Structure 1
C-alpha cells in the first residue's frame, strides 16, 4: 500500500521525449519531407515509419513516484529476469540482492534511480553484445556501473547493460550527485538490461516474469 506519491521532477511538456532522440527524430522527419517533395513515395513512407518508431522509442512519460518509506522502485520498464542473492563483485565485496530487468524494443528506455542516495563511483566496462535477457550479459556485455550510498551508508549499485541491438549507453549523472528516488538518470538505445544490487536484507517485491515500470513499480523494500 503506497502511503503517498510525488511526480517525477522534470516536466516533459505535451510531447514527452528523451532529449537523446531529438536529433534522430528530426533527421528522419527531414528525410521524409525530402523524399515526399521528390515524389519518392516508397522511401518517404519507409522514412515516415522510421520517424514514428523513433518517436515511440524515445518517449519519456511522466511517472507517479511512490514515496513510501523504504520502497525501492524499478529503474526500468520491462520484465524481471533474475532475483537472487549474489556476490556484489568488485564494486561490493559483500553479498547483495540482485534484481535484473530486461527491456525490449517496445519498452520505455529512460532509466530512473531506484532509491535516493549519493553517487560515489561511476565506471564504464567495454564488453560484448550478447542478448540482454541472458544471464551472462551481466558479466560479459558492455555496461556502465553507478555506485551509490544510501542514507546510513548502505550501498546501492545500478548497472546499465547494452544488449544485442543496444550500442549506446547514456548516463546523465556524475560522481557526487545526490539523486532522488524516481529521478531520470540515463537511457540505453535500443533494447537492453538494468541490474540493481541492493543490501541482502532487502525484501524483494517482485519475482521472475513480473512486468515493471520505471519509477512506479516497487521492486523491493529496504529495512
Structure 2
C-alpha cells in the first residue's frame, strides 16, 4: 500500500496541528492531568489515522479487458437504471452510480481503454451524493472515453456534501489505459457511469465495488 500525493498537504497540516495541540495541552493546559493528556493523544492518533487512510492506495491486481467496463471507484452501487443522458449523448443510456463514503479508497480510475473525446468541469452545489439532482447540480466533471471500436463510455465525478474538491488528470484527446488514474475526489462523493443500452450489467444494487477490479458491465 502507498499514500496518494493528493493527501500530502492535508496529512502534513493535520499532523502539525495535532502535534501543536498535544504539546500545548501537555505543557500549559493539562500538565497536572495525565489522564486528559492520554485521552487527547489517543483521540488525535485516531483522527490522524482516519485522515491518512482516506488517501491510501492498496496494492491490487487490476482487471484489464477490452469487452468489460471496470468500476472507476471503490464504494457501493446505489443506482442501476435506464435514463436520459442530456449533456453529451442526449439519448437513453444505462446508468450505474457508485457512492463513495469517507472510508472508501478515493482514487478514480479509467473504466476502459481509449481516447478522451469530451471533458467538462462544472462548479456547483454540494447536495448529498445520493440526492437525485446531485448529478446535474453539484460540482462535477464529465469525461467521455471512446474505445477503439467507437463505443463511448461517459463517467461523471460528483462532489457530495462532504467532498469539496474534485481533482482530474485527463484532458480531451488524451489516450488512457483501463485502470489508470483518472482523478481523485476528497472526502466522500459519487461516480456515475453511462453505458450503451445493450451493455450487460454485471452488478446489482448494494454490491460493493473495488476501483480497477470489479466488472460493472460487458459491452456488446
Aligned match of 2:47: 50
Residues 136-188 of structure 1, C-alpha deviations (whole Å, 9 max, x = no match): 21122111111221112221111000001111001012222111111111111
Shift of 1:97: 1.3
Whole-Å Cα distance in 1 between the matches of residues 104 and 154 of structure 2? 22
For 2:151 and 2:66, how far apart are their aligned partners in 1?
15
Q: In the TM superposition, what is the alpha-carbon distance from 1:69 to its structure 2 partner?
A: 4.1
User: In the alignment, what sits opposite 1:107?
Assistant: 104
Q: What residue number does 1:162 align with? A: 159
Q: Please state how far the C-alpha of 1:192 moved relative to its aligned partner.
A: 0.3
In 1, the alpha carbon distance for the partners of 2:198 and 2:101 equals 30
Listed as ranges, the gaps of 5+ residues in structure 1 are 1-14
Task: State TM-score, norm by structure 1.
Answer: 0.87
Post-superposition offset of 1:30:
2.1
Distance 1:186 1:195 in 2: 14
CA contact (8 A) 2:109 2:211 kept: yes
Between Structure 1 and Structure 2, how many residues are aligned? 209
Q: Does 1:190 align with 2:190?
A: no
Say whether 1:78 aligns with 2:64: no
Structure 2 unaligned spans of 5+: 28-36
For the 8 Å contact 1:32–1:43, the answer to whether it is kept is: no
Does 2:22 align with 1:25? no
Please give the alpha-carbon distance, in whole angstroms, between the structure 2 residues aligned to 1:48 and 1:112: 30
Runs of 4+ with deviation above 6 angstroms:
none
The reply to whether residue 211 of structure 1 matches residue 208 of structure 2 is yes
Equivalent-residue separation in structure 2 for 1:190 and 1:67 (angstroms): 27
Q: Find the residue that maps to 1:56 and give its secondary structure.
A: helix
Paired residue secondary structure (2:117) = strand
Q: 1:31 offset after TM fit, Å?
A: 2.6
Match of 1:66 in 2: 63
Question: 3-state SS of the aligned residue for 1:66?
Answer: coil
- Structure 1 position 151 matched with structure 2 position 137: no
Structure index of larger Rg: 2
- Name the CA distance, whole Å, in 2 between partners of 1:165 and 1:31: 21
